[in-house]
Chains A and B, each alone.
Chain A
């Protein structure tokens, strides 16, 4: 069943229909939330909160956009809300450790895997160290594939600011990769 029908069924009172939507998108929302909040437990809370918020406001969903576009804005707000609520007290090490635990490694050769893991580790560390205002745009852009307009809309910042923050975020991540290679 497509999203439209699942939404209609949900609005008609079908709990299973919304459950199906949740199952369909839970991993995507999780992958959006995880780098922002930095740990699995909080990210799961964000996923749950996102779907409950979406369910509560489903009537206000205008079908001019795709359901997930609407959903990820909710997810982002929930994630940032969780981060602020927590007071940013989580250590970078914990973020790196927890994010790392959540990702599965694809099958590849040992050498390639080792190099990729080095790079990914460097990237995770750099991502965890990024200030929230830089982390959010890069996650939305690179993981969600959102364009500048959608990022601007989601973060409620001008497109020019999206560009500058993406640029700074990339610079920070690139420098982290360069530093890691220089260390070896």
Chain B
């Protein structure tokens, strides 16, 4: 058997990619030619060594990193969005409320509470400006005795009605120039939104910082279409407070009251049932 023939055949025999006849022929040749025998042994030895070196395991902390990456994948939200019956009504509702509007939702007859979206004046009407809106929803909110605001309430607030502004559960920044929603306020069984707006330069920085912040605080986030939605599922009260503190430090001072108030309510509630969603809308 010529060298080029047996050399090629050794590989196929070792890899079990040959016929029975070829295998038999090679081993018969190997009995007569020590070079062939050595080539076969070397190929098997290399395999043995390579397989011995294939026992690496990922570091213990990597499993958790991978788990979080999987949990935070956009895919879950995209799949959820593709299933109309699964997608939360408030998410769609939030998207319908664009620009500087508020989205209000309450938990229904037994559970209702209020929140106010505070928008910085003059940030979205400048030419070439871009906005980031951060919405926050509490899915299973604690019971709070309050009256959900109506469109008329929003209108009243926009018109500077002090009575509407000072209602106990409506925390409103004096002088807010935001608009009341044109559409009817959408009531959902799982919470409410508030929004913030920053100018274009701050938008990207805020978004990047917020994403990093959420990663550092073990908070899942996802992306839907062009919007960023950060889902703070079952996160701890401490994390939620940290997030709100971060928002307070990086977004409008005016939101502080509303968000702090919200944080206090979370603290009062069973933290395991809170499910917060934060949305970034880059326009």
* Residues of A that sit less than 8 Å from B by CB: 11, 13, 15, 18-19, 22-23, 26-27, 30-31, 34, 40, 44, 47-48, 51-52, 55-56, 58, 99, 102-104, 106, 116, 119-120, 123-124, 127, 138-139, 141-143, 147-148, 163, 166-167, 170, 173-174, 177
Contacts and interface: CB of A to CB of B under 8 A. Distances in A.
A167 B79 CA distance: 45
B67 interface: yes
Contacts of B39: 174
B45 A177 contact: yes
Given A19-B67, A148-B17, A167-B8, A44 B52 contact: no
B66 interface: yes
Given A124-B53, A170-B42, 16 more contacts: A13-B79, A22-B70, A26-B62, A31-B56, A40-B59, A51-B69, A56-B73, A104-B56, A106-B55, A116-B49, A119-B45, A120-B52, A139-B50, A141-B15, A142-B50, A167-B8
A123 B49 contact: yes
Contacts of A27: 56-58
B91 to A, nearest CB: 15
B62 A120 contact: no
A70 to B, nearest CB: 16
A58 B76 CA distance: 12
Given A123-B53, A173-B46, A167 B70 contact: no
User: B12, B42, B55, B70: which has the most chain A beta carbons within 10 Å?
Assistant: B70
B199 interface: no
B46 A13 contact: no
A169 B157 CA distance: 76
Interface of B: 7-8, 11-12, 15-17, 39, 42-43, 45-47, 49-59, 62-63, 65-67, 69-71, 73-76, 79-80, 86
A55 B15 contact: no
13 contacts: A19-B71, A26-B62, A27-B57, A56-B75, A104-B55, A119-B45, A139-B50, A163-B8, A166-B11, A166-B15, A170-B43, A174-B43, A174-B46
Contact of B46 (A23, A34, A170): A170
Contacts of B15: 141, 147-148, 166
B75 A31 contact: no
Interface of B is mostly: helix
Contact of A13 (B16, B52, B69, B80): B80
Contacts of B57: 27, 30, 104
A137 to B, nearest CB: 11
Contacts of A167: 7-8, 11
A142 B47 CA distance: 6
Contacts of A40: 59
A102 B15 CA distance: 27
B46 A15 contact: no
A116 B75 contact: no
A68 to B, nearest CB: 14
Contacts of A44: 58-59, 62, 65
B48 to A, nearest CB: 9
A119 B49 contact: yes
Given A138-B50, A147-B15, A55 B63 contact: no
